[in-house]
Amino acid sequence: MAAVAVGAVSLPLSLSTSSKFITTKGVKGRFMVFAASSGGGKSGSDDKKNSWSSLFDINDPRSKLVPQGKRKFLDVNQAFEVARYDLQYCDWRARQDVLTIMLLHEKVVDVLNPLAREYKSIGTLKKDLAELQEELAQAHKQVHISEARVSAALDKLAYMETLVNDKLLEDKKAATSDSTTLSPTPYMATFETAKNKAQRKSISVSGPVKPYHPLLKNFWYPVAFSNDLKDDTLIPIECFEEPWVLFRGKDGKPGCVKNTCAHRACPLDLGSVNEGRLQCPYHGWEYSTDGKCEKMPSTKFINVKIKSLQCIEHERMIWIWPGNEPSAPIIPSLQPPPGFQIHAEIVMELPVEHGLLLDNLLDLAHAPFTHTSTFAKGWSVPSFVKFLTPESGLQGYWDPYPIDMEFRPPCMVLSTIGISKPGKLEGQSTKQCSTHLHQLHVCLPSSRNKTRLLYRMSLDFAPVLQHIPFMHHLWRHFAEKVLNEDLRLVLGQQDRMINGANVWNWPVSYDKLGVRYRLWRNAVEKGVKQLPFSK
């Protein structure tokens, strides 16, 4: 992008053949514009002004023919021509601003010239200088305007490059409906379409966290690791601001019921598992995995049932379906790639909204600034960091880091990191690396200010580490240390967000995966049938 922008600014802009300079003064609004024109007369300053000609004696690019978009569509070449014209105009406008200031400076010198003072009173000099000071102030103001125009033109060119890279200029439906009027250029889009897509990419995440949309519940959510749920174990969880409890039934299969006794609303996780039933510690009422009360000591039995969720064990994890719609027939696979062995499975409760945590996990560009005492210690800061991904994907790889990453709906992040040894990177891609670390992060939305994080770490080397005593505690210590480096920042973001700040003010190129997560989530909450970036 930098090369494109610089090339556009430094284009040879049709230098005119005039070589002599005199100044004529015109008025445009309130701004006094000095225009260069050829003319007779020589002075001591002519040679000096002639040296400026290569900088200022250029044609106004507004005389050039530029695509005006009379047709519904501009092809990509025409679109880039419009952007190039914008940069040429900004370049010409900036040169005129500088010329104006230089000529005003010459006038100031002339006014203050000792020879000039012989013919002018002090009052006249003060008046002339005051007028010149006002004109200089206006000229400097115009320079700032030109700087803003240049910045806007470069932003437009950068955005158009993004459209081309993402193939957003290709509008298949429009191409089909307007096939009789369109040229065969492969990538086409109207400026209005590009504007709408730019607005779509504008993300606002600010203010107190709103209640979770019911449509976000219609997914399978992993809530615990199988190894943590023993036959006599109770695991309390929160999901979408509702309390639940996990336990295994008589058949060993997991169940998930509301963590509230039907009798006196006592938390059931304070009780115990009795012959595959969850027993309330208050009066001993016992519930099966489907929520039905099967035992009521000390009283006449009545038919009572508490709410339960569909609960399945799949690939060493416990999954629940919290939504009202029928459950999806397929549960996503979160297994590490072939050749990897699981070394650690860790669960943590974090005081942040799960979307903010996902934003953080989907961003690697922050690593050499945030994780300077853990895994990114010693990393250099690249000139550019990019996340390269297919047009319709939620996965890709980081450049220049040898790291593959994927967001897997509704709340999972998978990454594979090429390493030479713990904490060190090697190669430019994971394929060039001989050893790898695979990570799974699950960000379960417990409540609007709390996330249940499930972390799994796998390696394709050093299997002996699995058998070292207390190694699990070491991995947990390291994971918590890394997470704490992120947590202090995300907590700060959450505080600012709740007070009205937008945490997605200026998305840039390396934010691509995080932006796509936000667009995917917005589409889910709007009830879009065909979700974006789906395969």
In CATH, what number is assigned to the domain containing residue 363? Answer: 3.90.380.10
Per-residue model confidence (pLDDT) at position 515: 94
For residues 459 and 503, state if they share a domain: yes
Domain range enclosing 225: 214-321
Q: CA-CA-CA-CA torsion for 401, 407, 411, 414, nearest 10 degrees? A: -50
**Is residue 81 in a domain?**
yes
Same domain flag for 236 and 266: yes
Q: Give domain status of residue 35, yes or no.
A: no
Final residue in a domain of this structure, among 256, 289, 321: 321
Answer yes or no: are the C-beta atoms of 257 and 306 closer than 8 Å. Answer: yes
Check whether residue 306 and residue 356 sit in a common domain: no
Whether residue 140 is contained in a domain is answered as: yes
In a shared domain, residues 347 and 300? no
The answer to whether residues 81 and 67 touch, using CB atoms and an 8 Å cutoff, is yes
Q: How many structural domains does the chain have?
A: 3
Note the pLDDT of residue 147. 62
User: CATH number of the domain that 274 lies in?
Assistant: 2.102.10.10
Q: Is residue 463 part of a domain?
A: yes
pLDDT the model gives residue 533: 87
**Residue 331 included in any domain:** no
Residues whose CB falls within 8 Å of the CB of residue 19, separated by 6 or more in sequence, listed in order:
38, 50, 53, 57
Q: At what angle do helices 2-9 and 122-165 cross, to 10 degrees?
A: 140
Same domain, 508 and 376: yes
Q: Is residue 58 part of a domain?
A: yes
Per-residue model confidence as pLDDT tens for the chain (535 residues): 333 333 333 333 333 333 333 333 333 333 333 333 334 444 445 555 555 566 666 777 766 655 554 444 556 566 667 777 777 777 777 777 777 777 777 777 676 666 555 555 667 767 777 777 777 777 767 766 766 666 666 556 655 655 555 544 444 444 444 433 333 333 333 344 444 444 445 689 999 999 999 999 999 999 999 999 999 999 999 999 999 999 999 999 999 999 999 999 999 999 999 999 999 999 999 999 999 999 999 999 999 999 999 999 999 999 999 999 999 999 999 999 999 999 999 999 999 999 999 999 999 999 999 988 888 887 888 889 989 888 778 999 998 888 999 999 999 999 999 886 555 566 668 888 888 999 999 999 999 999 999 999 999 999 999 889 989 899 999 999 999 999 999 999 999 999 999 999 999 989 999 999 999 999 999 999 999 987 6
One domain, residues 477 and 516: yes
Together in a domain, 355 and 465:
yes
Q: Domain check: are 507 and 405 in the same one? A: yes
**Residue 486 resides in a domain:** yes
Tell me: do 361 and 502 sit in the same domain: yes
* Structural domain ending residue among the three candidates 117, 134, 156: 156
Element (H, E) at 437: strand 435-447
Contact yes or no for 347/225 (Cβ under 8 A): yes
CA distance 43 to 54: 19
CA distances from 284 to 300, 303, 443, 519 (A): 13, 15, 34, 48
Strand pairing report for 272-274 and 277-279: antiparallel
The answer to whether the CB of 373 falls within 8 A of the CB of 483 is no
Residues 100, 231 within the same domain: no
Residues 304 and 346 in one domain: no
Pairing state between β 293-295 and 308-314: unpaired
Q: Are residues 363 and 472 in the same domain?
A: yes
